[in-house]
Amino acid sequence: MDPLFSTVEYTLGGLQLRLDTAAHNVANVNTPLYRSERVSFEQGLAAALRAGKAAPGPSPTLVGGEDLVDNSGTSVSLENELTDLAKTALERQVMVSSFNYKVDVLKAAAGTAR
């Protein structure tokens, strides 16, 4: 398999998990004592790519958020979550566009363009 495809698959999975996690955090913005979560996968991906490998083996992981705790004990910052959602959606869109471009190039090379 082309390393690009497995790398894109891993990255899209991490970005989707990040979108789901941010949505979960937003849904719990008023839940007392709720602690926000974040998704970590870029460092493992970068290390694998530097080593000349495709996507790393372990799946993206959830880690505790670093937002400050408010009076109700929740650590969700609505502003941070909405910013993270917008940024992640754009990153995902770039990955999908890049993947579609690669597929189109391969189809053209094989003579089966859409």
Percent of the chain with pLDDT strictly greater than 90: 35
Per-residue pLDDT, averaged over 96-114, amounts to 85
Q: Any idea of the CA torsion for 100, 102, 104, 107, to the nearest 10 degrees? A: -130
Residue bearing tokens 């090379």: 109
Pairing status of strand 61-64 against strand 37-40:
antiparallel
Beta carbons of 40 and 12 less than 8 angstroms apart: no
Overall average pLDDT of the 58-77 stretch? 79
Look at the pTM and tell me if it is higher than 0.85.
no
For 12-32, what is the mean pLDDT?
92
